[in-house]
Amino acid sequence: MSDSAPRLLLLDSASLYFRAFYGVPARAEVPSGIPTNAVAGFLDMIATLITRYRPTHVVACWDDDWRPQWRVDAIPTYKAHRVADDPAEGEEVPDELSPQVPVIAEALAAIGIPRIGAAGYEADDVIGTLAMAHRGQMPVDVVTGDRDLFQLVDDSSGTRVIYTARGGVRDPDVVTQAFLADKYAVASGDAYADMAALRGDTSDGLPGVKGIGDKTAAALIADFGSLAGVREAVASGDPRIKGARRANLEAASDYLDVAPLVVRVAHDVPIPDVDLRLPPDIADPAAMSRLAVDHGLTSPFDRIATALRG
């Protein structure tokens, strides 16, 4: 891989292993007795991504806090519907997936792919921080099934989103500014974030502004330049915003005060100084062999090794 042009691949780990869990059938019983469909699917995804995009640097970004208190303080409904019946357990995760997550972490360590999270932050925030830190140094591909990260798209720095929600890693949407313009009628990642704040997102418990969906939000951003521009127009009595739309925007003022804080990913997460370079081969063959035997993962690890050797 050392001859490849520099490219950073940022993995939204939970997005990918949840997809693997639901998309890969249950596998045969293995010595450990732990289900392994999510692990095997996740490793296969990594092998596919390395082979296709030839990154020189890869990070598995991790949710150390999937629902940070500072976002909940701003908007209490944020991800509230995903909290487990016992709030002490955090996010509601299928029983057969929970024991696979530590195995995924061990597998990443054996391969030599750094796994980075930060206390009080989501994986999205780690991704945002790393993407911004490497702008201008190398192109960045963000792999996720979460459209929130479209806000990072920036053609000038080669920052794209490899969006897996529809076609998985084998047939993803490659999200550039042209994709955003065609699909959402917004010109940039920043404009997408402003649109998302106006529109809201029921899957994240963000109410948005009543009566404003994608098209109306995009039109408002186009007319007034930004969310701040829209709010300034409302405050100044701009006659282009009138009737029910004005009333709804005025009624949502408190929400719009805090929505950008919640919607926009952090760019300043404290990240440990870790070597992000992708290894040329499996970093810890002994650990890999143990995991392969205990969990029946020989084939997925073989595919990773082949991808690394490139």
272-303 pLDDT per residue, tens: 999 999 999 999 999 999 999 999 999 999 99
Under the banding of pLDDT at 50, 70 and 90, the label for residue 22 is: very high
Cite the DSSP H helix spans in the chain: 13-23, 37-53, 69-74, 100-111, 123-133, 177-184, 189-199, 214-224, 227-236, 243-251, 253-263, 285-295, 298-309
Short-list 63, 46, 68, CA closest to 55: 46
Tell me: pLDDT of 87 over 80: no
Pairing of strands 173-175, 159-163: antiparallel
Portion of the chain with pLDDT greater than 70, in percent: 98
pTM value is: 0.95
Portion of the chain with pLDDT greater than 90, in percent: 91
CA distance 278 to 63: 21
Contact 137, 6 (CB under 8 A): yes
What pLDDT shows up at residue 90?
Answer: 75
Q: Tokens standing for 219?
A: 């039109």
Q: Tokens standing for 66?
A: 């999937």
What pLDDT shows up at residue 37?
Answer: 95
- Coil vs helix vs strand at 212: coil
What pLDDT shows up at residue 26?
Answer: 84
**Residue 185 backbone zone (phi > 0: left; psi -120 to 50: alpha; other: beta):** left
- Coil vs helix vs strand at 160: strand
Mean pLDDT confidence for 196-204: 95
Contact 65, 123 (CB under 8 A): no
